[in-house]
């Protein structure tokens, strides 16, 4: 069999050609199709023919050659239904919905066209006698156009799915290395688009913290082959990046890339701003808490440790994400109400009288009133902690004498943390306790002063607790 009948002699151009499979047991059909296909150029790509003289040969080619755009299949070959069986194999076994299938027959009686169109997933039916050179040319172009549109739609669908995923990574996780996420995203896009991508970091972009224009989410394209944008790293620092594609993108593909980048850059901007605000708020609250603690001759490190340890226990109880950020900051404000307690009581080096203790207990209500005045979830949480962190599980605490589950969980968590930290620290009215004495007191108070469930979590994770305090075993 002449070699040219197996496939056309057009040289590969990095895969830039349309692949067409001709399945027919008549050599003349292959020869005529080859002559017509030789002159076809559609959207800058020529045609490459693959020839099979039986359904079995066609199956081998279909499993070995990817991205065949069109198969022109004879009905009657080895059997009267060979062509139709091949159509079923392509659609049902290979599960290929993309390839355009054209049935050609010289014996119409074996394949009534209406029955074929209804029963089988084919895209055209032609009798060999009706396919002149011009007719064959027109049919091939029409089917290639269909294939192009189907592949483009499928590519857009895949790009949209991956774009949504990588945009959500910033929103739904603690990822901070945005460069790696972006590299991974473009690697995924390159596989979908069948091209290569090169990412180049051009320069740093520095701007005043209050100048947001430098970190616009706008992107700039150069002839659909490269795109530039600024990826924010910190409040005052960004990085100009260029992404080069090995071949131009279509209009729809570049629009999808633009939509992804704008959404991604916006998500990163919001993350950086939110993170900076949280960190700034943390510092402000630390300063406020430190001022409060300094009035009672204690160190601001007490509030920092209470915040970290409260966050740890809250995380072990199932809280996560933004709530933990809030919890740590809110716990630091547990004693902010002490700002309204007289120095003589706050710094008394001896046990307080009953009257003095009643005044001291007011710090919970003072703190609540200060914090509850701010309409924000963080401050609502902080207000509850300030009000309830001296309530006891058995109802003997203050200011309301609540018992058991009636005490908000955030108050029960900070209660054990505050006592643990206080006992391990020097106070004006007593020296610090040893770790053993502190642990003994906590255990003895579980189910009385403290919630047993919170106690269990505290001791199950005590190695991590000790890590926060730098205690040695």
Could you tell me which of 116, 130, 32 has the C-alpha nearest to residue 75? 116
Tell me the domain boundaries of the chain. Answer: 3-131, 153-267, 296-469
Whole-number pLDDT of residue 274? 78
User: Model confidence over 34-77: pLDDT tens digits?
Assistant: 999 988 999 889 999 999 999 999 999 999 999 999 999 998 89
Question: Phi and psi of 160, rounded to 5°?
Answer: -65, -45
Which residue has better confidence, 295 or 245?
Answer: 245
Which residue has better confidence, 378 or 116?
Answer: 378
* Local confidence band at 4 (pLDDT 50, 70, 90 cut-offs): very low
Dist CA 56 CA 52 (whole Å): 8
Whole-number pLDDT of residue 293? 62
Average pLDDT over residues 122-143: 85
Average pLDDT over residues 121-147: 87
- In CATH, what is the architecture of 153-267? 2-Layer Sandwich (3.30)
Structural contact between residues 70 and 21, judged by C-beta atoms closer than 8 angstroms: yes
Rounded to two decimals, the pTM is: 0.58
Whole-number pLDDT of residue 214? 60
Reported residue count of the chain is 473
Least trusted range by pLDDT, from 3-12, 138-147, 183-192, 312-321: 3-12
Fold of 3-131: Rossmann fold (3.40.50)
Could you tell me which of 193, 201, 187 has the C-alpha nearest to residue 242? 201
List the CATH code of the domain at 296-469. Answer: 1.10.3210.10
Q: Going along 154-278, which residue ranges are E strands? A: 197-206, 220-222, 226-234, 237-245
Q: How far is CA 461 from the centre of its chain?
A: 30
By the 10 Å C-beta count (0-12 exposed, 13-18 middle, 19+ buried), 445 is classed as: middle
Top-confidence range, 119-133, 185-199, 278-292: 185-199
């Amino acid at each position: 069999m002449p070699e040219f009948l197996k496939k056309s002699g057009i040289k590969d151009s990095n895969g830039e050609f349309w692949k067409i499979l001709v399945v027919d047991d008549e050599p003349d059909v292959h020869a005529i199709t080859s002559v017509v296909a030789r002159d076809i150029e559609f959207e800058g790509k020529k045609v490459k023919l693959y020839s099979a003289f039986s359904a079995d040969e066609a199956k081998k080619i279909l499993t070995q050659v990817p991205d065949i755009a069109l198969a022109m299949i004879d009905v009657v070959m080895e059997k009267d239904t060979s062509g139709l069986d091949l159509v079923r194999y392509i659609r049902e076994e290979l599960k290929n919905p993309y390839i355009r299938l054209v049935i050609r027959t010289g014996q119409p009686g074996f394949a009534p066209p209406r029955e074929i169109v209804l029963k089988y997933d084919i895209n055209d039916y032609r009798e060999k006698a009706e396919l002149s050179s011009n007719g064959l040319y027109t049919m091939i172009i029409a089917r290639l156009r269909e294939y192009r549109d189907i592949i483009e739609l499928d590519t857009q669908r895949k790009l949209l799915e991956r774009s949504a995923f990588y945009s959500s990574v910033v929103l739904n996780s603690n990822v901070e290395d945005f460069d790696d996420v972006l590299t991974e995203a473009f690697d995924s896009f390159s596989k979908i688009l069948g091209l290569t991508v090169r990412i180049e970091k051009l320069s740093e972009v520095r701007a005043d913290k209050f100048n947001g224009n430098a970190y616009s989410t706008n992107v700039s394209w150069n002839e659909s082959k490269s795109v530039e944008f600024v990826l924010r790293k910190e409040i005052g620092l960004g990085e100009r990046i260029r992404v080069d594609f090995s071949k131009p993108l279509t209009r729809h593909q570049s629009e999808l890339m633009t939509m992804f980048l704008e959404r991604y850059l916006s998500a990163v901007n919001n993350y950086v701003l939110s993170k900076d605000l949280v960190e700034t708020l943390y510092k402000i609250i630390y300063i406020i808490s430190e001022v409060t603690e300094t009035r009672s001759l204690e160190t601001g490190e007490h509030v920092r440790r209470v915040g970290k340890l409260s966050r740890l226990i809250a995380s072990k109880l199932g809280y996560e994400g933004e709530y933990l950020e809030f919890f740590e900051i809110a716990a630091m404000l547990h004693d902010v109400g002490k700002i309204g307690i007289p120095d003589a009581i706050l710094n008394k080096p001896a046990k307080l009288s009953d009257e003095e203790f009643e005044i001291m207990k007011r710090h919970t209500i003072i703190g609540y009133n200060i914090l509850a005045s701010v309409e924000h979830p963080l401050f609502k949480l902080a207000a509850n902690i300030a009000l309830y962190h001296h309530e006891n599980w058995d109802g003997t605490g203050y200011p309301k004498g609540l018992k058991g589950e009636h005490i908000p969980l955030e108050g029960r968590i900070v209660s054990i943390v505050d006592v643990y930290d206080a006992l391990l620290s020097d106070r004006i009215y007593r020296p610090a306790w040893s770790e053993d004495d502190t642990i003994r007191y906590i255990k003895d108070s579980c189910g009385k002063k403290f919630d047993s469930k919170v106690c269990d979590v505290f001791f199950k994770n005590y190695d991590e607790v000790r890590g926060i305090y730098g205690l040695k075993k």
